[in-house]
Amino acid sequence: MSNPSTIIKSSDAPGPIEESIVEKLVNNLNPSYLKIANDSSKHAHHAGIRGATNVTESHFRIEVISNEFEGKNMPTRHRLIYSLLDDELKNKGVHALQMKTKTETESKK
């Protein structure tokens, strides 16, 4: 009865950090839909990231539809994703994550 999940990556050749993000989210949230976009090039010159080593996989935009979010408010959902991607945020130079999180019911509204 489960729908095959749709996973949309940023390009045909996503970087290693993106791959790791996708894998962690898929394994832990079992999303029916996951889309990830890489906005790093838009921020490469901003003051907050100047001097950073990672400027190619630093800013991502993620859309996730998963029933794991059921009953959780927005800060809780975002914190869930932040904790799954703790390594990327703390050690791999991921600087920002824009997130849209929905349960399957919400996505049909």
Partner 1 sequence: MAVIEIQSEAQFSELTKSDPSKLIALYFHTPWAGPCKTMNSVFKTLADSKAADPTILFLSINADDLSEISEVFEVSAVPYFILIRNSTILKELSGADPKEFINALNQFSNSAPAAVAAAAKEEAPINNGVGNGAGDVSESEEALDERLKKLTAAAPIMLFMKGSPSSPQCGFSRQMVAILREHQVRFGFFDILKDDSVRQGLKKFSDWPTFPQLYINGEFQGGLDIIKESIEEDDQFFERALAA
Site for partner 1 in 12-41 (CB under 8 A): none
Q: Which is nearer to partner 1, 22 or 95 (CB)?
A: 95
Q: Rounded to whole angstroms, how far apart are CA atoms 94 and 108?
A: 31
Number of residues that bind partner 1 (CB under 8 A): 19
Residue 90 touching partner 1 (CB under 8 A):
yes
Instruction: Output the CA torsion 66→8→89→56 (10° steps).
Output: -170
Q: Which is nearer to partner 1, 3 or 50 (CB)?
A: 50
Instruction: Output the CA torsion 94→5→8→24 (10° steps).
Output: 20
Q: Which x/- pattern, by CB under 8 A, does the window 34-73 give for partner 1?
A: --------xx--xxx-------------------------
Q: Rounded to whole angstroms, how far apart are CA atoms 41 and 38?
A: 8
Which tokens is 60 given?
A: 């991502």
Residues that bind partner 1 (CB under 8 A): 42-43, 46-48, 74-75, 78-79, 82, 86, 89-90, 95-100
